Structure 1
């Protein structure tokens, strides 16, 4: 798990450096991008939680 997280972070940093070097604007405003990532994270956690909750009833 930590390996995947570090790889994702490193990839994001490399892409950020490339975007800055070529003066490419970010494809999404930073706040909206972070909000989208939070939504994706919560969505991934929501289905197993619902399945667990429904399985216990």
Structure 2
């Protein structure tokens, strides 16, 4: 699958070079700008995903005890007894 994606992106870049009338291989400044764009894009995707899809910390409240007494919260790592 990676080869197909790479081929498609390469084809798209080739079309872009043709539209911009840039010779391939590109001049060094254009090639470096393209590499910089790839590096920035690679690092931007996780940042954007982290900003858009942050897991919300949903706080659930326990229902009141049958006898009306407040339930004591468990210590972190403590297991409930009885199953």
TM-score range, shorter chain: 0.3 to 0.5
Which structure has greater helix proportion? 1
TM-score by length of 2: 0.37
By relative contact order (CA 8 Å, sep 6+), the higher-ranking structure is: 1
TM-score by length of 1: 0.46
Task: Look at both structures and tell me which one has the larger radius of gyration over its CA atoms.
Answer: 2
